[in-house]
Chains A and B, each alone.
Chain A
Amino acid sequence: MKRRELTSQTMDERVAALEAAVEARTRDLKAALDQRTALLHELDHRVKNNLQLISSLMLMQARRTADPSVRAALDGMLERLHAIATVHRRLFQTEDVERFDLSEFVRDLVADLAGSNRHPLLTFQCVLAPAEVPASRAASLALLINELVSNAMRHAFPDGRPGRILIDVRKSGEGLRIEIADDGVGMAGSPGGAQDAAAGFGLTIVDLLGRQLRACIRRETTDIGVRTVIALPPESVGVGR
C-alpha cells in the first residue's frame, strides 16, 4: 500500500514537472510568435508609408509642372503606383495573405477611377465573380487591369464624350478570363502624337505583364469600340503558386 502511494506521488510530481515544462515552452513560443507578428506589422506599416511617400512626391511634382506631357506621364505613373498600393492594402487587410480576390480589387480600382471625376460622362459596368488568385500574382494582374482601364479612359473618349467601360472577371475552367471593353472611338480614332506614344507605353506594359502571366491576350476593334480579352491559364492563377 505504502509503496503504491509513493509511486502515485512520484507520478504526480512528474506530471506537474511536465506541465510546467510545456507551459514554459508554450510561453517562449508565444513570445517568439508575438515578436514575429510585431515585426511583420512594422514591415507592413513601413511599406505602406513608403508607398504613400512616393505617391505624395509624385503628386507634388505633377502639380508643379507646367508641361502637359510631363504631367500626363506623372499621372500615369501615379495610377500604376496606386494600383500596386491598393493590392498591398487589400492583402494585409484580410487574414489570408496567400490569396487575393481580383474582383474586390477591381471594385476598389473602379470606385477610385470613377470617383476621380476626370470623365463625368463615363460609366463603368462591372461583372465581377469571385476570382481568387495567388498573392504573388496580385500586383501583375492589378497592373494589367489598371493599364487597360486607364488606357480606355485616356484614349477611347476624346473631348469628354460619354461612354461606357465594361470590366468582366470570371473563372473559366481552372483558369481566369478578364474582359475589358469600351464603346469609344476605337484604335483608329486616336488623335495621334504624344497621346499615341502614351498608349504605346501602356500597351507595352500590357504585353510584358501578359508574358509574365503566360496569358493569351486578344485585343480587337469591335463594332462599338475596343475589346481586350485576357485568358489566364490555370498555372498562373492556381493554388500554391
Chain B
Amino acid sequence: MDNLVEDQKVVDLLTKLKHSNGGYPSDMLAARRRTYLRQMANVGLGIGIGTSLKATLKGGSNGSGVATTVTGKILEIALVAAITLEAGTAAYLYREKIAHVLSLFNSGATAHEVASPSTSNETNSSNPSLIEAVGTPFATLSPTPTGTLSATSSTAVAADNNQSSNNNDSANSDLNANATPNPGGNQGNQYGLTPKPDRNKDNNGGGDGNSQDNGGGGGGSNTGNGGSNSNKP
C-alpha cells in the first residue's frame, strides 16, 4: 500500500519534470525550419516530375485519360521519327564505311570465281582435300609430285633398288603389296595403316647376314634373298 502511494509520488514528480524541461531555442528552431523547407522544396520538385511521369505512363483512369492517350500517341510518333532520323543520319555519316563493307562482300564472291580456273596440279597442291581424295588412287599407278605420293614412290624405288633387277615381276608384286591400302571409304587419318616394308630385312640380309646364313643354301646372294622372301608366309 505504501509502495503504491510512493509510486504515485514518483509519477507526480515525473509529471512536474515534464513541464520543467527547456524548449527549442528560437534561433535553432528557425534554422532547422529553413533547412526543412529547403528539403521540402527539393523533394517536392523531384516528386512532381515523378508523379507526372507516372501518371503519363499509367494512362490515367480519370478524366484526363483522353488527353494522356493523345499525348502518348504524339510521344510515340515523335519517338519513331527520332529513331528514323537518327538511323538516316548514321547511315549518311558512315556511308563510306558501309559502302566499303558492301564491296567487301561482293569482292569476296568474285575472288572465288577467279581462283577456281587453274591446272589440276595446282588445284591438287592448293586444296588438301583434293589431294587425299584424288591422289590416293594413283599411288600404285604412277608417282605424282605431291608430298604423300612422292614418299610412296620413293619407297617403291628403294624397294625396287634393293630387289634384284632381274625379277621385275616380283619387284612389282612387292611394290603392290607395300602400297597404301584402300582406305575403304575412310578418307581421314591413315596413320598406322601403311604396312611396314620388308626392305629392312632385305637390307640386313642383303648386306651381311643373309649372305652368311643363306650361304649353305647355295646360289648367289641375290637369288638367295629372293628365295627367302618367297618362302615367307
User: Do the two chains bind?
Assistant: no
